[in-house]
Amino acid sequence: MAATLQSQNTDTWRSLDRACAARWPGVTASTDHGLQIVHIATPHDTLRPLCLWLFKELDYRFSTLVVEEHPAYWQLTYVFMDPVDHGWVYIEMTQPLTQKSVISIGDVIHAADWHEREAEDLFGLHFEGHPKLGEFVLHEDWPEGVNPMRKQFDARQPLPEHNPVAVWQPPTIVQAPGAFAMPIGPVYSDFAEAAHFVIETTGENMLRVLPRFFYKYRGVEKLAEKKTVDEALLLAERFSGSSAFAHGWAFCRAVETLCAAEPPPRMSALRAAFAELERLRHHVATITSLCAATGLSVAQAQGAILEEELLRLTAEICGHRYLFGLLTPGGLMQDLDNGHIKRLQERVQDIRVRLEIFQTDLRYSSSFLDRIEDVGIITSDVVKAFGLVGPVARASGEQSDIRKLFRYGAYASLEFEVPVEIEGDGYARLRVLFREAVQSVSIIEQVLNDLPPTGPLSTPLTPRGGAALGCVEAPLGAAYHWLRLDDDGHIQRYRIGTPSYRNWHAFRVAVEGFSFQDFPIILSTFGLSQAESDR
Amino acid sequence: MHNWVYKGLATGIRTTTYPARPDERPGISPGRPRGTSLVQPAAEALARICPTQAITQQPTGAAVDHRRCVHCSRCRRDLGALSMDWESGFEWGALAEQTLTAGRRFKKIFGHSLHIRFVDAGACGACMSEARQLNNPYYNIHRLGFFITPTPRDADILLVAGPVTDAMRVPLLKTYEAMPKPKRVVAMGVCAVSGGIFGPSFISAGGVSDVIPVDVVIPGCPPPPLAILHGLLLAVERAKPAPLFSAAPSTSA
């Protein structure tokens, strides 16, 4: 163990360009020390071995795949992250538009599997060697050969002619006496997001779970194209309402990186406070839904009271219950006055005390613990293979947190802990949620106690051409927003890599083998958003 | 075994006084712009700054189409003093255009409790979260005779959020058709009302009324729980509708 850590430390991204040149003759690598990025341009032949080398030997994490269509060529950027010494590796491969075939890496780097399937549906690229392509983002009835992310496709034209399937019949695999398939969704009995699961079972245990997602695909990435940065900000904030501020911030960070602009210090600090307020509310909402799923109705009511109070507090200090309309590239749209700061300080202290009481109450409810302990287990191997992020990954021993790794914005000077648990079950995820919520309160307190003096609301900036990646730690984990602007400041490509997308991929692994009644509980401990995943 | 029952009793009653008495506690609603009397250059500038074309220029000022407003607050902040008036309150439920011509015998048939079926037709999560708050102690819709039902066969009201994505068109239609008559459809959130910032597009309809007939609309991005409650009360004629369009007041006012 010590030996592998040693080798990782000497092989960080800082020396990767030299290591790369020595090992791969046809490959050119250059390092941007300011932005902490290693650009590796590779021909198609070395794409797969290079990715596998990074992933398997150097232990880098796959972050996202960005496919871009330029007038004459495809550009594929495989973004990897160095989790030890924070830095990015962009593996860039270009090929002519007529060449639609790309080698697949999804069979080894499982985290890339969904990215490849999505690119196949939306761009019409074919990933050689991928075991399962087609019918992913666009369902079975979508006309063949219509790829909405291609440049010639007009997003404002009405739906192409097609006949929706009335009843979708999944391929059932489980063959056993009494085996049957149980469909769930996309319309639920309560307030739940649209998604469909087919559970194959012989009666008690879920032998195989087949999810069918993208019922909520709204083509956000396509709708953003040709828009100005200000117009697209509405989409960035509103495609996933439960983590609006985090995604808006990631979008703004991409714009700010492109323009080499930093928000004023006070606004930078307030952004961290608002992001933590959102994380706090998000985690309380997830805990509440877990109490609902386990049938603990008084606890559910207690959690719902806390959640509603946080929503009201948010609206009181910034005008919107879900923090919409607060961000602008270069800063914020409004400041907090002293009255609001005092109010926020008082309320979060009160909420911290009540959260701790709430956690103790739940810890002594044995009927509740029975439902979440040793249930829905995610092992650390699964975390790595699927590239899981956020509280789900941190409940299985993964340390990674973008706030700690990249120290963006005000997080550079804030003291906080990244809670990690190792069991990987529902209870570990619950503990991570509680501990993170308490950390969020502590971050808000630190920010407000040491707020820089009042100044401008934002740094003026003029969007300019180029591409940049903006990343933040959203409530559910790492969010990557890739933005390419043309010289007039209009969007050419907007790619959103969301934490729910990563974690839904592994949800199936967590539920298979457990019994039927555990399904809604495991679902709640993951706390994922369909809107964030489907975009 | 922890005593949750005692815990619940000790918490006391938190429920809103609405609709018996008005509720004006801070943070229950984001508020929204309303028609404002302004001089022409300011009205024109505000109409230009509105990213969803909700604000239009009128002879006496600027008007707001609530079907399109997403509370981006740009008309409130960007131009300083020359901004739109912002109203607090939450009674936003309004009759859909289709309702005005429809019959109004609903209350006579369903005089008592009402069963609601919720469908997510591509909502962003904020509408969903606000709808979920209806069941929490602060709002507690059960006290008003509203219940969420697991089956469309029992449902009287279909509550829909989201612009209706291509994949949700058939599930939404099937849910609607499975409901017995008479039934009412309530579209909540700007996406469900007009398509919002997502629709109409290649993959989304321009709101629920493109797919099924809509009776009541609740504008807002998202509408706060009390606005949803107002819309539900309106659907059973226990509340008065709000206008969908807020015109600029005449200069004499």
- Chain A residue with CA closest to B6: the answer is A298
Provide the whole-model pTM. 0.92
Amino acid letter, B155? A
Q: Please tell me the distance in Å from B60's CA to the nearest CA on chain A.
A: 27
Q: Are B244 and B219 in contact (CB under 8 A)?
A: yes
Average pLDDT estimate for B231-251: 84
- Using a CB-CB cut-off of 8 Å, the residues of chain A touching B197 are 223, 234-235, 238
* Among B30, B163, B166, beta carbon nearest to A319: B30
* Residues B28 and B226: beta-carbon distance below 8 Å: yes
Q: How far apart are CA B148 and CA A471, in angstroms?
A: 39
Residue in A with minimal Cα distance to B151:
A189
- Determine whether the interchain pair A241/B128 forms a contact, defined as Cβ–Cβ distance below 8 Å: yes
Contact B126 A219 (CB under 8 A): no
Instruction: Using an 8 Å CB-CB cutoff, list chain A residues near B131.
Output: 191
Per residue in A285-320, pLDDT tens? 999 999 998 888 889 999 999 999 999 999 999 889
Phi, psi for B20 (deg, rounded to 5) = -60, -45
C-beta atoms surrounding B198 within 10 Å:
26
Name every residue whose Cβ is closer than 8 Å to that of residue A164 and which is 6 or more positions away in sequence: A141, B166, B169, B170
Interface test with B, best of A218, A294, A308, A323 (most B CBs within 10 A): A218
For residue A9, CA distances in Å to A17, A59, B108 come to 15, 11, 75
What's the angle, vertex CA A247, arms to CA A244 and CA A253, rounded to 5? 135
Chain A neighbors of B5, CB-CB under 8 A: 298
Query: Token pair of B200, please?
Result: 């109409």
* A461's tokens: 């900036």
Query: d(Cα A230, Cα B49) in Å, to the nearest integer?
Result: 10
Report the pLDDT value the prediction gives residue A5, as an integer from 0 to 100: 42
Q: Specify the range with the lowest mean pLDDT, choosing from A104-118, B22-36, B67-81.
A: B67-81
Instruction: Give the gap in angstroms from C-alpha B204 to the nearest C-alpha of chain A.
Output: 6
Q: Which residue of A has its CA nearest to B12?
A: A302
Average pLDDT over residues B21-45: 85
Q: Is the complex ipTM more than 0.95? A: no
Decide if A273 contacts A347 (C-beta within 8 A): no
Taking the CA of residue B98 and the nearest CA in chain A, the distance in Å comes to 23
Query: Of B98 and A394, which is predicted with more confidence?
Result: A394
Alpha carbons A70 and A165: distance in angstroms, whole number: 34
Q: Name the residue of chain A whose CA is nearest to B198's CA.
A: A218
Give residue A1's pLDDT.
38
Tell me the nearest-neighbour CA distance from A226 into chain B, angstroms: 14
Residue A97 is which amino acid?
A: L
Roughly how many angstroms between the first and final C-alpha of chain A, as a whole number?
A: 40
Chain A residue numbers touching B177 (CB-CB < 8 A): none
Of B25, B123, B201, the CB nearest to A531: B123
How far is B7 from A176, CA to CA, in rounded Å? 48
Nearest residue in B to A362, CA atom = B2
Biggest alpha carbon–alpha carbon distance for chain B: 68
CB-based contact B203 A217, cutoff 8 Å:
yes
Return all residues near B33 (Cβ < 8 A) that are at least 6 apart: B54, B55, B64, B69, B75, B76, B84, B85, B86, B87, B246
Confidence of residue B81 (pLDDT cuts 50, 70, 90): low
- Stretches where chain A sits below pLDDT 70 are 1-11, 160, 164-167
B70 neighbourhood in chain A, CB within 8 Å: 234, 238, 324
A217, A308, A324 ranked by CB distance to B221: nearest: A324
**Residues B71-93, mean pLDDT to the nearest whole number:** 81
Q: What pLDDT score does A254 carry? A: 93
**Distance between CA atoms of A450 and A461, rounded to whole angstroms?**
27
**Pairwise CB contact (< 8 Å): B167 & A187:** no
Which residues in chain B are closer than 8 Å to A194, comparing Cβ atoms? 119-122, 167-168, 171
Which of B151, B202, B221 is opposite residue A159, by nearest beta carbon? B202
CB contact under 8 A, B123 and A302: no
- Which chain A residues are within 8 Å of B200, Cβ to Cβ? 156, 158
Contacts of A235 in chain B (CB under 8 A): 197
In this complex, the residue of A214, A235, A298 whose CB is nearest that of residue B7 is: A298
Measure A366 CA to nearest chain B CA, in Å: 7
Residue B245: φ, ψ to 5°: -125, 130
The minimal CB distance from B197 to the residues A192, A217, A235 is found for A235
SS3 for A113? helix
Instruction: Give the nearest partner residue to A194 out of B26, B120, B221, using CB atoms.
Output: B120
Of A323, A473, A367, nearest to A410 by C-alpha is: A473
Estimate the crossing angle of helix A519-526 against helix A426-449, to 10 degrees.
20
- Could you tell me which residue, A73 or B76, shows the higher pLDDT? A73
Query: Cβ–Cβ of A216/B224 closer than 8 Å?
Result: no
- pLDDT tier, B185 (very low <50, low <70, confident <90, very high otherwise): very high
Task: Show the tokens assigned to A413.
Answer: 């000077």
Q: Which of B28, B138, B201 sits opposite A305 (nearest CB)?
A: B138
Percent of chain B residues topping a pLDDT of 90: 26
Mutate to test the interface with A, among B70, B120, B174 (most CBs of A within 10 A): B120
The answer to whether A239 and A479 are in contact (CB under 8 A) is no
Contact flag A334-B77 (C-beta cutoff 8 Å): yes
Token pair recorded at residue A77 = 């950027």
Write out the H or E segment, with its range, that includes residue A180. strand A180-184
Indicate the pairing of strand A87-96 with strand A73-82: antiparallel
Residue B176 pLDDT more than 90? yes
Residue A3 pLDDT:
40
User: Letter for the amino acid at A302?
Assistant: Q
Expressed in angstroms, the distance from the first to the final Cα of chain B is 64
Nearest CB partner across the interface for A325, out of B73, B171, B198: B73
d(CA A320, CA A324): 6
Tokens of A102: 């790309």
Cis-peptide, bond into residue A186, ω within 30° of zero: yes
**Has residue B215 got a pLDDT over 60?**
yes
Closest CA to A361 of B1, B210, B173, B59: B1
